[in-house]
Structure 1
């Protein structure tokens, strides 16, 4: 009788260790940013999750729009953004880039809460300028891969260049400065776009010869328009406020709109709501002299997540009863929590709630989209149906296949989208009525911007994140902050960051505002989105790199061309449907 074979040896299975932190040391540059590392204590990382904005701003990843969607590229590795697993770290979208980094030679070490990232510094072997229509392109041939970092408005290439090579760059209009940790191109972070390639190693810079406005500007305090406003009482300064033992650096702009001759305006994207822009690209078309980043958005889909109304037209409706501000021609701000109560009524008296208006916030039920969303609506979830309403009648219905391709939005129509198996409430040819009212009077005002949570009202802390649908982890998060406030007879645009170390929590932000005499305050999108622009110069960024954002808030000179004094008055379309019936 043959004995059975011995059992196989027991395989020791260990769960991979998980480590998280909030600092990175990138080739000697220490920055605050969240990370998540999964692997064995004495081995390499199986997973390394880093924020997408950090990868673009501090590593040189290229994010581009292709016919099939957003694409990410770095030294020969390419992937569509939607194909990559994603998680949320604090308030930021993060990707697993362990394999991307290690295959390029990046060394990663953990030390307590700090992640150390190192890449051997390559030599610049040569420079090649494009010809003809590509004359604004410069190709840098390298002996190995190098990090490309945006530091404020400077571009740091972690490579070594010779004196002769730096002279060649100067002849092309660049301002190179060799430092211990690489070659700094002064004032070029916004002027140049970069692409990294392998086989052989190269960095391609597009936009040489196009000077960044910031490089040609002196300090914003010396700008003639800013000087004139300061003489009329505008406040523009930076100060340190201690909340307990934590020092916070606050940069603020304070203005009495009527005395300084300014208008406060939302800065939306006019023609479509999908996409992100740098703050100066939102400010310049509106002639905004001063601007701050605005409300929340989905960083992956690049869609709005909150109230945005300009001249009486809803570009995006509020969600989750979150904090918002509203104002009219005087510029006096009304603060509160806001919802839009939309109802669809059928010809036989049936009633259905419409959950959102022109929003990237996706949930089961019915949502409404108008032409303010853009010329086309494309499905945001995997199970959708829709019907188009024009002049109170359902004129067409759409199935998932059509919505996935995209359907046009009529200038005088409303597209009602049913998600999650929710049935369409009416058939083609039936008559319906859409009614809408605001939960708070501020929703009736012509200008509205949402954020959240609400921080202060009448001098009291009213922080209640749960009431506004924010998670406990978001509420306890320490991060750079952007705030719009009111107090002491002035409107305030403020950014807050840690002066020496940790950034403020929402409660610490509220307490700091109280110390400054601000009576009403609303938190705006923060973290890497935090940005303040003065005289077309970015004076504050949340993570040290110029962020792309969805919308902003701007101060505009009343007499400036294209901005008439009636700019804050409500916009009325032919049907008057954008006006809110508050009955």
Structure 2
């Protein structure tokens, strides 16, 4: 977390290195797919062997009674791929005649198998390529259900020779055994290229690994860093590599450090020898076979990423390590929802942007704030977990939060109820179910009114932002409140009357219940003096409004900041929104939300520039304007940046995305 078009028809690409044609299965500057391999457990069943299942899959035969057939015969959210249990949504439906059709979410097909989704302007027809022998891509029918876009893979799997069987929540897939014949590396004009030759097409996955920081060795001097560290990537194929390949790419054991000889007094007068330049880390760090899979570990320089291509005749995986690994896409994912990604030029810099364009007026499409925990305001989770919990088709991370106590630091309003109040007059977006939006800098003005015309400002509502003054905590906060600072004076208000008043004591120690028909008032700093004016039995009321008042007309609000664009003009003023100088100057991955000239909403992730770090806030504002934004807001970014679509993160590897507190979900009517 940072602190603070119309589609063209798919066109073939001729690969310059070999005969045949290929399609790019892309991984972003920060990786797009990255299957959740860290979540799987290895089955005792060997790969490429279909396990014996205790529950038969639904089948249709001529003897099947002629009764109404349900639209979905079986479904689940786990896939056994050659014996390994992996997350992935699937379902089975009746086909023509007695045929049973199998449908896999497009995210699972990309993440687990390596199938490339090509450009399309028809949400019901998805062209794909995977080791395709011709320039004509295979087209799979697509349908939406409960936030996923399912592709009919029945013919695809038959052509590939897969075996499929359903077992309760698990769809077992067994693919023919494959052999990794060779792995070669070559230097290219831009970056490096790795060829992985196979005897047949086979599933493959790519992920970016988090760096493992080893404790320093006290006996070994720490070398001075020469630049940003390399990133480790892992390419995993369902196939066994030849032992000679394993040996070729097995790292040699480290040579022992030379012992220090006795010092010669004369040598002490000589200057120290110049240390040799460090040897560049090899691109291919290791090749190994684990559980009948070949794992290729790469050490990729900062600012570069893999772009992976499949090729037929010969069957080959081509891994290009490039500073511009993003491949442009334009996919009509659903009615009113377009998935796009491309590079934008800002001066001499090129920034990759992945975004979803949403028509909020499309029938059956709506937006809602989502958060990781519905029981209390404390909590964080990966957006990959939160979005499916709500059955959201798409989502982006939202506002800021305290990573230590996992509490919100900004505005959240849902269905006309304040979940958490805004802070520091920071930027926010508001919307209604009619497809109308409002952007601005937001303040919530609540006033506590007591007898004798006593009026006291309430500065914070259900917020982890702690300052001197009066704060209010409602049942949305949770069943109880634990003091965030020492020596708070806490008043319990029930049915509009003060029923209790006490000192909170040491921060974090005593929990006080929040009445379901009331709230707590917390007095901090100089505000504790107001406690004497609010004795038990005092009748209280509250007035509430927003500044500007336009925000009051909208039932849903997410606050973050800073505000970037207003009425097509850049209005960035991070200082005014109380962001630090370091935050303002930082170059980092960014999330943004905006509206364009057609009134559509766009949620976007801007990742590292080609060959370098992400944008500054000023660059982010310019990029949002280039994207066509009329009004735009910066959301929480850095490791929090997460753009979710149909069971997958489309902008980065899930392993590199942090847990977040809240987000904005896109919901499609269920068919």
Question: What TM-score comes out, normalization by structure 2 length?
Answer: 0.52
Pairwise CA RMSD: 3.4
CA distance in 2, matches of 1:446, 1:465: 26
Of 603, 607, 620, the match for 1:493: 603
SS in 1 for 2:650: strand
Of 388, 393, 408, the match for 1:304: 408
Of 629, 638, 661, the match for 1:518: 629
Given that 1:393 and 1:429 are in contact with CA atoms closer than 8 Å, whether structure 2 keeps it comes out as yes
SS in 2 for 1:257: coil
The answer to whether the aligner puts 1:432 opposite 2:536 as a matched pair is no
Of 508, 511, 518, the match for 1:413: 518
CA distance in 1, matches of 2:231, 2:409: 33
> What count of residue pairs does the alignment treat as equivalent?
380
Given that 2:387 and 2:665 are in contact with CA atoms closer than 8 Å, whether structure 1 keeps it comes out as yes
The answer to whether the aligner puts 1:255 opposite 2:358 as a matched pair is yes
The answer to whether the aligner puts 1:378 opposite 2:486 as a matched pair is no
Q: Which has the higher contact order (CA 8 A, sep 6+)?
A: 2
Task: Report the CA distance between 1:544 and its aligned residue.
Answer: 6.1
Given that 1:385 and 1:397 are in contact with CA atoms closer than 8 Å, whether structure 2 keeps it comes out as yes
Task: Report the CA distance between 1:108 and its aligned residue.
Answer: 5.0
Given that 1:541 and 1:547 are in contact with CA atoms closer than 8 Å, whether structure 2 keeps it comes out as no
CA distance in 1, matches of 2:592, 2:470: 32
Given that 1:326 and 1:334 are in contact with CA atoms closer than 8 Å, whether structure 2 keeps it comes out as yes
SS in 2 for 1:512: helix
Structure 2 counterpart of 1:463: 572
Of 213, 224, 232, the match for 1:110: 224
Task: Report the CA distance between 1:414 and its aligned residue.
Answer: 1.3
Task: Report the CA distance between 1:322 and its aligned residue.
Answer: 0.4
Structure 2 counterpart of 1:397: 501
Given that 1:528 and 1:541 are in contact with CA atoms closer than 8 Å, whether structure 2 keeps it comes out as no
Post-superposition Cα deviations, 1:127-180, rounded to whole Å, max 9, x if no partner, equal xxxxxxxxxxxxxxxx9xxxxxxxxxxxxxx998974xx23xx6xxxxx54334
CA distance in 2, matches of 1:105, 1:461: 54
SS in 2 for 1:272: coil
Question: What TM-score comes out, normalization by structure 1 length?
Answer: 0.60
Structure 2 counterpart of 1:68: none
CA distance in 2, matches of 1:493, 1:522: 10
- Larger mean CA deviation between 302-311 and 104-113 belongs to 104-113
Task: Report the CA distance between 1:343 and its aligned residue.
Answer: 1.0
Question: Which has the higher Rg, Structure 1 or Structure 2?
Answer: 2
Task: Report the CA distance between 1:350 and its aligned residue.
Answer: 1.3
Structure 2 counterpart of 1:574: none
Structure 2 unmatched ranges of 5 or more = 1-28, 31-35, 39-211, 233-252, 254-283, 300-326
Task: Report the CA distance between 1:359 and its aligned residue.
Answer: 0.2
Distance 1:514-1:432 versus aligned 2 partners, 3 A rule = same
CA distance in 2, matches of 1:240, 1:551: 28
CA distance in 2, matches of 1:443, 1:101: 53
CA distance in 2, matches of 1:234, 1:458: 24
SS in 1 for 2:651: strand
Structure 1 unmatched ranges of 5 or more = 1-30, 33-56, 60-96, 119-142, 144-157, 171-175, 183-218, 561-583
CA distance in 2, matches of 1:106, 1:309: 54
Structure (1 or 2) with the greater helix fraction: 1
1:25-174 mapped onto 2 (5 Å cutoff): 101-102=215-216, 109-114=223-228, 163=289, 166-167=290-291
Task: Report the CA distance between 1:109 and its aligned residue.
Answer: 3.2
